Amino acid sequence: MLHFKDFLPAAPPPDAADRMFIRHDQGFAAVIDGVSGCSYPKLAADMCVEVLESLGSETRDIPLEAILDRMHERLRSFSTARLMAVAALVRAVGDGYEVATVGNLALVDASNPKRARLAIEATTQPLSALGQDGAPRIVTCTLPMPKDGFHVLATDGLHPQRLAHAVAQHGESATNADWRALGERVCTDSDWSFLVFPFERRLHFQRDHWPYDPFVGVQEGHDHERRGLAELADALFRSNRYPGFRILGSMTVDRARASYLADGVLVIPEGLVLLELKDHWGRIEIPLESGAGMRTHRREPESNPVYKLKKALRHISGWVPDLPLEPWQRKMAAVVFTNPGAQVFGVRASGQIDAAPLISGEVMVAGTARFPALLADFLKPFRTQSKGGRVRLLSPAEIEEVAGRLAAGQEEEAEDPEAWRIGSYSFDRKPAQETGYHALHTGRSNRGKPVLLKHYRLKSLMRGDRDAALAALGREAEILSELPQDPRLERLLGHGEDGDAYYVILEAVQSPDLDQWLAGDPPRAERLAILRDLAELLALLAGADVVHRGITPKSLRVRDGRPVLTGFELARLDSVATLLVDARRLFDQQYQAREVFVGGVLGQATDSYSLGALAIRMLAGTLPFRDFQELAVRRGKPGFWEKVAAGMALPPSAAADLKRLLSPDPIQRPTGRALVDLVSGWS
């Protein structure tokens, strides 16, 4: 689970002393702010980060108070100046979070997002700080893992009361750009930062403990409907009565007329159950034996969901006709009330009123919490209709196949079930590669030119406006399509929506990647030429305000002696927070800057760091560090950079350039023409 997400200004001031540290693999995060009244606020914050980096995996087990004590002692050990910082540490433990703070950081409790409140209110000046005379005052607390809400830790660059109010108004939809804009609205200083946790639950309604994603196809369009589906799935998983179940969303029941769109179809071992979801509250009366309207708190009656389902069941008996199921196994339906505040009653023709759960022929009416047990009771009479008293149950594999066929509309065999056409391109349906972030499909144009399709699927139970999320993906692709045509860039051939996914079509660069090219032991002159060409390309991208974010030997190919940068089509993606996984997990950590993994704004200097690491790999053969954390330990040792320069066959004077290029501070790294000039000076 992605617990933490940090947000900082798009362009932090040069003297910014706010720092974020995140270890996703440890479920650990820290918010640090150098105290403005001390001698060197930036240095104080950086030294606190160094303590955390030196701990490595120990951040999982050491008491948070002990970690703060180590940070305090580190600042106190700096003898030539007074250094102080405030900090908050957060660690995921079981179904909640441990929190330990020192100083004036604000904590917003948005367990109920619409009623966000200040759990810890920041003061204008810290009453205690790391590095002060005497022991700092450490405040600890535990926070629950909220079902739908979240928590926010913020530095004093944000107005605490305005922050809590803005969080309450923020709504369900929250892209990265939205969150950063929220910070800009409530900031009182240009140096600010905040941490949101648990963040992944802000993106979708799925639960961490589910053994698989049960949803197939396009799900419901509104958050309350997707929340209801999540609660239904959660209840089914906990019951263990329906192994392998799947839920399809938004199914057209009468395909000839498209007159009724069901909220979903539940596929269970016993067969198909048509679903109608209702988010109503208060007293609800449903006529069970007529088509009269359902009465709610509203003045006018609403359409009767039981009657609608009974009519709809006439049309699904022909679904997946080759599957050997009894007729009753294709004639079941359920009205599911997802709001716990609903009080549902059924009205019989005699006038008798019964409280839910209700059964009327092939339709049951129930809430989500007791749905699995009530469904089992609902199925019992149907079982007696089976021939010989034995029911043909679907296996999990059959359930998955049926769900896939229904979602794809493939009840009738297609001429070529493996083919997938988009415009003038055809692709193999089976992915050549799946990362969890996207699926990669190989294909060809009508003229036989090799192409690739990357399929970015949104979470089936994502929060917020799905259409807006897909449109935002499209805007990013449009921006990149407007870049100048350059042989060093992978060409974007097309893009668009495909159900609950966005796709991009790219030229297939059929050339070796950098590692494969280096295996051929090319001359030094060719290696330097590739580096200079890549620096020129990054300067071109910098002029267009585009950051790649993931330059590694795998994303760099060599064609006709020139670099070609791939994996680039969604490089500026910051307006959508609904993709399957955090893309940072896919990066090669050896070539990625610290801000990619522990928080911070990603900019042109992020790509400069990657070029610096690639330069060492290309000219020295190997990198002398595994990741940014190991580099942080080694970079300060006497003679380290001189040794790196010598390994690259560069003069000792290049040591200072390499140190800047791989600096933990993005401001220190050269970008644009300065980067080109630096690399061009190597020989």
Q: Could you tell me the CATH number of the domain that includes residue 38?
A: 3.60.40.10
Structure tokens given for 296: 């709610």
Closest CA to 338 of 356, 354, 352: 356
Peptide bond into 638 cis (omega under 30): no
Query: How deeply is 342 buried, as exposed, middle or buried, from its count of CB atoms within 10 A (0-12, 13-18, 19+)?
Result: middle
| Neighbour-count burial for 74-98, b at 16+ CB within 10 Å, e otherwise | bbbeeeeebbbbbbbbbbbeeeebb
Do 159 and 35 share a domain, yes or no? yes
Give residue 583's pLDDT. Answer: 41
Model confidence pLDDT, tens digit, residues 454-499: 887 665 544 555 666 666 566 556 666 767 778 898 888 888 877 6
Residues 567 and 661 placed together within one structural domain of the fold:
yes
Residues 562 and 627 in one domain: yes
Same domain, 254 and 372: yes
Q: Is 208 inside a domain boundary?
A: no
Q: What is the pLDDT of residue 145?
A: 83
Say how far apart CA 45 and CA 246 lie, in whole Å. Answer: 49
Rounded to 5°, angle at Cα 128 from 124 and 132: 125
> Among 454, 489, 507, where does a domain finish?
507
**Structural domain contains residue 209:** no
Residue burial 597-613, b: 16+ Cβ < 10 Å; e: rest: bbbbbbbbbbbbbbbbb
Q: The pTM is what?
A: 0.57
According to the model, what pLDDT value does residue 473 have?
A: 62
Which of helix, strand or coil describes residue 154? Answer: strand
- The reported pLDDT for the residue numbered 412 is 39
Verify that 571 and 633 share a domain, yes or no. yes
- Indicate if 178 and 241 belong to the same structural domain: no
pLDDT value of residue 9 = 86
Which stretches within 482-603 are classed as H helix? 514-519, 524-543, 594-598
Contact present, 289 and 354 (Cβ < 8 Å): no
Q: Are residues 518 and 497 in the same domain?
A: no
Q: How far apart are CA 343 and CA 91, in angstroms?
A: 40
Cα distance between residue 568 and residue 268, in whole Å? 41
Residue 464 and residue 14: Cα distance in Å, rounded? 35
pLDDT at 581: 35
Within-domain flag for 414: no
In 3D space, the residue among 247, 293, 278, 276 whose CA is nearest the CA of residue 340 turns out to be 278
303 belongs to a structural domain: yes
Q: Which two tokens stand for residue 600?
A: 């911070």
- Strand 332-337 and strand 363-367: pairing? parallel
Residues facing residue 358 across a β-bridge: 365
Of 9, 36, 4, 37, nearest in space to 21 by CA:
4
- CATH number of the domain where residue 477 is located: 3.30.200.20
Cα separation, 662 vs 297, whole angstroms? 64
Cα separation, 402 vs 382, whole angstroms: 21
Residue 481 makes CB contacts below 8 A (sequence gap 6+) with 492, 495
Encoding tokens for residue 25? 């693999």
The domain boundary, picked from 202, 230, 251, lies at 202
Distance CA 668, CA 681 (A): 18
Write the CATH number for 562: 1.10.510.10
CA–CA dist 86, 30 (Å, integer): 11
83: its two tokens: 């250094």
Per the structure, the complete domain to which residue 342 belongs is given by 218-384+394-406
**Residue 154 shares a structural domain with residue 49:** yes
207 falls within a domain: no
CA torsion through residues 412, 413, 417, 420, sign: negative
Same domain, yes or no, for 32 and 167? Answer: yes
Residues 26 and 48 in one domain: yes
- Type and span of the H or E element at 70: helix 64-76
Q: What would the pLDDT profile of 572-620 be if each residue is shown by its tens digit?
A: 544 333 333 344 444 567 898 887 765 567 789 999 999 999 999 999 9
Last residue of a domain, one of 202, 227, 257: 202
For residues 251 and 316, the answer to whether their CB atoms sit within 8 Å is no
Q: Virtual CA dihedral for 604, 605, 606, 612, nearest 10 degrees?
A: 120
502 and 520 both lie in a single domain: no
Helix (H) or strand (E) holding 287: strand 282-287
Among candidate residues 31, 25, 24, 190, the one with its CA nearest the CA of residue 108: 31
Residue 173 belongs to a domain: yes
Handedness of CA 524, 525, 530, 533 (dihedral sign): positive
Cβ 285 vs Cβ 294: under 8 Å: yes
Residue 206 tokens, joined: 């799925």
How far is residue 443's CA from residue 433's CA, in Å, rounded to a whole number? 13
Tell me whether residue 211 is in a domain.
Answer: no
Same-domain check for residues 55 and 188: yes
**Does residue 502 fall inside a structural domain?**
yes
| pLDDT beneath 70: ranges in the chain | 1-2, 122-124, 148, 170-176, 200-206, 208, 218-224, 250-261, 317-318, 388-389, 408-419, 435-437, 457-480, 482, 499-500, 568-588, 597-600
Query: Per the structure, how many domains does the chain have?
Result: 4
User: Which residues lie below 8 Å from residue 637, measured CB to CB, with a gap of 6+?
Assistant: none
**Bond into 198 cis (ω within 30):** yes
